[in-house]
Every structure is written in C-alpha cells, then in structure tokens.
Structure 1
Amino acid sequence: MFTIVKIIVSAVIIGAITEIARRNPNHGGIIAALPIVSMLSIVWLYIQGEHKATLSKFAFSVAWGIPSTVVMLVIIGIALRHSIHFIVSIGLGLAGWVIFLFAQDIIVKHLVNQQ
C-alpha cells in the first residue's frame, strides 16, 4: 500500500510541475530544478526506516550527480535552441551526462591518487 501512496504522491507532484511549466516555462523550470525528487526520495527512505548513514550516502551521491546533470540540461537546451530534433537532443544530453560523469570520476580519482 505504501508503494502505491509513493507513486500517487510523486505522480501528482510531477503532473503539477508539468502543468506549471506548460503555462510558464520559466517558473516551471525553476520549480523542476528544486531538489523535489531528491527530497521525496530521502523522505520515503526515512519513513521506510533507512539508517541515517544510508540517507547521508544517498544525499552525497545526489550531489555528485549534479554537475553531469547540469551538463546534460545545457546540451539539451542548446540542441533544442538550434532546432535539433527532440529525440536527438535528449540523446545528446544523455550522452553528455554519461561522458561527463565518467570524466568526473576519472579526474577525481586521478587527483586523489596524486596526493
């Protein structure tokens, strides 16, 4: 039953954000950029009894993914602005996300190994 509640609450929030974005893309974008999914996930994990260490690790992992997510969104925005087909724009953004995430991991590991 709890899984159904999570799905319904999450779907309502996503639906509301989509409607706001449809009417006002600037406000919708700002709201979508809020850490709604991250916060919902942390709340659901907490309610389900996860340990604070797990919640902490999750929060830091989300933060680790932010730079590559920004790269993905910028690539998608630029591609769409240049009239590149929607699916291709999404594909380019996802490719940029994967490449940046791997590059970020390699760079950080390299920096850590030099110390």
Structure 2
Amino acid sequence: MYYFFKIALTALLVVAVSEISKRSSLVGGALASLPLVSFLGMIWLYIDTGNTDKVSELSRNIFWLVLPSLSFFVLLPILLKKGVGFSASFGISTVVMVGFYLGMIFCLKKIGIQ
C-alpha cells in the first residue's frame, strides 16, 4: 500500500503540472520548477531508511546535477523558435543535456565527489 501511495502521489503531481500548464504556462512552469521530485525523494528516503547522512548526500548530488539539466531548458526554446520541430528539438535538447550530465559526473569524480 505504501508503494502505491508513493506512485500515486508522484503521478498526481506530474498530471497537475500538465493540467495547470494548459491554463497558465507561468503557473505550470512555477510548479514544475519546484523541486517536488527531489523533496519527495528525500522524504521517501528518510522514511525508508531514517538515515540523515543518505538524505544529505542525495541533496548534495541533486545540487550538482541540477546544473547540467538547465541546458535542456535553455536549448529547447531556442530550437523551437528557430522552427525546429518539437520532436527533434526535444531529442536534441535531451542528447545535449545527457552530454552535460556525463561531463558533470566526469568533473565531479575528478575533484573527488562520488
């Protein structure tokens, strides 16, 4: 029952962002920009383990990995405004973002962050 609750709540948040965005992209964007998945992930991790060190480590890693994800949100609207189709823009932006993630993970390992 606990896992069903976690899945249902998480899915509800995704659907809420989608539905709210139909009415107001600003409000939808504000809701989507909140780190709700991160909040829920930390809460579920703490409830499941009771380990604040794991929550702290997750929080630190989220910080570093948010940075490469921003490339997606910069590139996608640029491509769309240039007339590139949605699917291609989404795919290109995703590939670039994954490249930035891999680059960030490589850099973090070089400075000793695992």
Q: How do 1:42-53 residues align onto structure 2 when only pairs under 5 Å count?
A: 42-53=42-53
1:49 CA displacement: 2.3
Q: Please tell me the residue identity of whatever aligns with 1:44.
A: W
1:10-60 alpha-carbon deviations (Å, 9 max, x no partner): 111111111111110111111101111100111111111241111111111
**What TM-score does the superposition give when structure 1 sets the normalisation length?**
0.85
Q: Please tell me the residue identity of whatever aligns with 1:64.
A: W
CA distance in 2, matches of 1:109, 1:5: 36
The alpha-carbon distance between structure 1 residues 47 and 11, as it changes in their structure 2 partners (threshold 3 A), is same
Q: How do 1:8-47 residues align onto structure 2 when only pairs under 5 Å count?
A: 8-47=8-47
**What RMSD in Å do the two structures reach over aligned CA positions?**
1.8
1:81 CA displacement: 2.0
**What TM-score does the superposition give when structure 2 sets the normalisation length?**
0.86
The alpha-carbon distance between structure 1 residues 105 and 47, as it changes in their structure 2 partners (threshold 3 A), is closer
CA distance in 1, matches of 2:57, 2:83: 39
**Structure 2, unpaired ranges of 5+:** none
After superposing the two structures, state which structure 1 stretch, 75-84 or 38-47, moved more. Answer: 75-84
CA distance in 2, matches of 1:80, 1:86: 7
Match of 1:68 in 2: 68
CA distance in 1, matches of 2:31, 2:11: 15
Moved over 2 A (4+): 101-110
CA distance in 1, matches of 2:37, 2:90: 20
**Structure 1, unpaired ranges of 5+:** none
CA distance in 2, matches of 1:39, 1:77: 27
